[in-house]
Chains A and B, each alone.
Chain A
Amino acid sequence: SQKIEQNSEALNIQEGKTATLTCNYTNYSPAYLQWYRQDPGRGPVFLLLIRENEKEKRKERLKVTFDTTLKQSLFHITASQPADSATYLCALRDAGNMLTFGGGTRLMVKP
């Protein structure tokens, strides 16, 4: 069956450090992968989309990599700030063409 796996344990880091979150998937052959941010009690907010032919994509302090051989995407936030504290979700379109989300990883950035 298709699975999207993200570390369910919270990631705690110090302000100013780089946060790295992982998304692994099985039984998908995605043309692209998306990352969203979700704050408590709010809807997901789109951050970045990376296509299968792109190794890396950047947006301000965010960087996403996509390794279709390893079936993995890494999401980096450089110079992290307490305001970056949230849950980060990766999402893939599955065989039924539905956008499916991973369980998310909660990031806590301490001042």
Chain B
Amino acid sequence: EPEVTQTPSHQVTQMGQEVILRCVPISNHLYFYWYRQILGQKVEFLVSFYNNEISEKSEIFDDQFSVERPDGSNFTLKIRSTKLEDSAMYFCASRGGLETLYFGPGTRLLVL
């Protein structure tokens, strides 16, 4: 069964550093998402991406964040200058024509 994959599984970085989280969505899906989950808290929407542009973004997704689909398979989330409060699990998700989201296993980001 096709699945969403994410790399790396864990990332430790110093405050102020840039990180890039990578995702490979399911191949025939058209809609892509990033969510995050701070430890013990709810899954929060960050951004959705369709037709090579951002379609929705939340208040969390400020100028420090950017997304890109550099080729036909990868979907990336970049955090330009990480802050301590960016420490969280970051989940990529994709969907096809139906409403169901398929989530990846997540990247655990720790900012020191």
Interface, chain A (partner B; CB < 8 A): 32, 34, 38, 41-46, 49, 89, 93, 96-104
Contact = CB atoms under 8 A, between A and B. Distances in A.
B77 interface: no
B56 interface: yes
B99 interface: yes
Contact of B99 (A32, A42, A102, A104): A32
B14 interface: no
A34 B99 contact: yes
Contact of B45 (A41, A42, A44, A100): A100
A43 B42 contact: no
B43 A49 contact: no
A45 B55 CA distance: 23
Contacts of A34: 99-100
Contacts, number: 50
Contacts of A101: 42-45
Contacts of B75: none
A46 B42 contact: no
A24 to B, nearest CB: 15
B58 A45 contact: no
A60 B4 CA distance: 25
Interface in B80-112: 89, 91, 93, 99-106, 108
B48 interface: yes
Contacts of A89: 42-43
A102 B42 contact: yes
Contacts of A98: 45, 48, 56, 58
A99 B42 contact: no
Interface string B33-45: 1000000011111
Nearest to B6: A43
A45 B1 CA distance: 14
Given A34-B100, A44-B43, A89-B43, A97 B56 contact: yes
